[in-house]
Amino acid sequence: MSHSIQLYIKRIFDVGACSLILIIGFPFLLLLGIFVKFSSTGPVFFAQTRIGKNEIPYKIIKFRTMTGSYDKNAKDWTRSEEKRITRIGHFMRDFGLDELPQLFNIIKGDMSIIGPRTPLPQQVTEFSPHLKKMFKMRPGVLSLAAIAGRRSLTVVQRYEFNVQYVETWSLKLDLKILWQSLFVVLRREAAREKLSGE
């Protein structure tokens, strides 16, 4: 099967799967939005500028998981930011539920279910031509870096996985990432339960 046909199938799957999830899961999304709204002050959604395919900026949408003011364009994760995560925010992050609003990004065409992990604009200014290869495909909600241990990787390592994904992409690779992402979520929950029981 040619590369272009596989990309066409990938896009059909993205739109079809996201549309189905939104139709079936709308009550659940609405419930999450209500929990976010009443858990702390602030908007339900968090929007942030990211760089997508062909280096075109777009607004990524997530459920807000933090309280108080914080830098929407910060390069690095800090402990002070971690302390501002709400209780519902922790729950949503554990299961990746905060990223569900990105289904709209996918249908719009800014993103894909699986793809390179999207970077911030100020990070792109430091990219080498090699790292910029990641912009040949739409960024994804799920990524190769995530199943490789996103939180244990450096920023550069995560983006190297982006390039690797683009250079070796196939529908088979997408299926592998989709399958393994399920186990990543389950492992996170198992680790969280273990810590809470100690």
- pLDDT 10s digits, 64-97: 998 864 444 444 444 445 678 888 998 898 888 9
pLDDT at 184 over 90: no
Cα–Cα distance, 118 to 25 (Å, whole number): 25
pLDDT at 150 (0 to 100): 58
**Measuring CA to CA, how many Å separate 24 from each of 3, 15, 45, 159?**
32, 14, 20, 34
Cα–Cα distance, 23 to 27 (Å, whole number): 9
The pLDDT > 90 percentage for the chain reads 56
pLDDT at 186 (0 to 100): 62
**Residue 73 or residue 28, greater confidence:** 28
Please tell me the total count of domains within the chain.
1
pLDDT at 49 (0 to 100): 94
Cα–Cα distance, 86 to 67 (Å, whole number): 6
Residue that the structure tokens 């029981």 belong to: 197
**Residue 98 or residue 94, greater confidence:** 98
Average pLDDT over residues 108-135: 92
Binned at pLDDT 50, 70 and 90, residue 118 comes out as confident
Long-range contacts, stretch 63-69, CB < 8 angstroms, 24+ apart? 63/32, 63/33, 63/36, 63/92, 63/97, 63/98, 63/99, 63/100, 63/101, 64/36, 64/89, 64/98, 65/36, 65/89, 65/90, 65/92, 65/93, 65/98, 67/39, 67/40, 67/41, 67/42, 68/42
Domain of residue 147, residue span = 3-196
Average pLDDT over residues 136-155: 82
Binned at pLDDT 50, 70 and 90, residue 101 comes out as very high
Residue 178: name the closest of 135, 138, 143 by CA. 143
pLDDT at 191 (0 to 100): 41
